[in-house]
Structure 1
Amino acid sequence: MTIDSDALPGTLRWASRLLQAEAVALGLVAGWLVWADLTATTTDLTSALLVTAFAIGGAAALWALGSALARRRSGARAPAIVLELMLLPVGWYMVQGGLGWLGVPLIALGLGVCGLLLSTPTNRALGFDREPDQ
């Protein structure tokens, strides 16, 4: 039996999976936005296309960051954390707007993935635990 000492730690694996799951969810929202753009009777076309493009770009960025983290690319961690922290104000305003059933899980997701990305096993896997050269 061979033990793979290079296996991804669970924290990094779950962070990567959650980022990719968020990408799929945002991709579904983007698909709905495309459908809404095409079937709307009256719309501000420029604004509609910008929102749709933002959703598509966000989904692509989340997927790319999740994939890069799964390949132990340390440079993907900071942008992933920034995107996850963006869930906090979104979730907060959802709670304030009466959508607490959606806002609270978004806040928890953002904080949870940040925790996974900042955990000790993730730091080791991405090479952030090494002593600086002197």
Structure 2
Amino acid sequence: MTADGPAPNPTTLRLAVGLIMLEAAAVAVVTAYLLWQDLTGRATVMSVAIGVTLFAAIGVVVLAAVGRALARRRSGARGPAVVLQLMVIVIGYYMTQGGLVWPGVGLIVLGLVTGGLVVSPPTTRALGLG
């Protein structure tokens, strides 16, 4: 705490929040595409198509909520942020196994970097955990 108010967020926390919000924006784009496909495409099983779209929409909400909580220095957001990054790494791994090597490697690196920023000592101290 400074004389002018709370200390500014450390760079590691700001970067982590920015990357998580970027992930939320990317999933929002995917959700919009899925919604478009639901409305205009020919799904074999419409209930599955709607379920996938809803799952993606929930992902946007969760990512944005965790990013916002981290930006507000809520210590309870660190665990969910780490879990989300582990999910990003797993998705990247399966993308590489499915033939999408470079996008998959990109997601793995994104998950590792963002997860590392979330658990870094400056972020840990800013969240009041260390």
Whether these two folds match at TM > 0.5 is: yes
User: Distance in 1 between the 2:57 and 2:63 partners?
Assistant: 10
Match of 2:13 in 1: 12
User: Between Structure 1 and Structure 2, whose CA radius of gyration is higher?
Assistant: 1
Contact 2:92 2:108 in 1 (8 A): yes
- Residues 1:121 and 2:122 aligned together: yes
Aligned AA (2:102): W
**TM-score (norm. length: structure 1):** 0.91
Match of 2:106 in 1: 105
Structure 2 portions without partners, runs of 5+: none
Structure 1 portions without partners, runs of 5+: 130-134
Match of 1:132 in 2: none
Tell me the alpha carbon deviations over residues 90-122 of structure 1, each in whole angstroms, 9 at most, x when there is no partner.
111111121111000100011111100110000
Taking only the aligned residue pairs, the percentage that are identical comes to 51
Aligned AA (2:51): L
Alignment of 1:18-33 (within 5 A): 18-33=19-34
RMSD: 1.4
Alignment of 1:1-134 (within 5 A): 6-129=7-130
Moved more, 100-109 or 4-13: 4-13
User: Distance in 1 between the 2:90 and 2:9 partners?
Assistant: 31
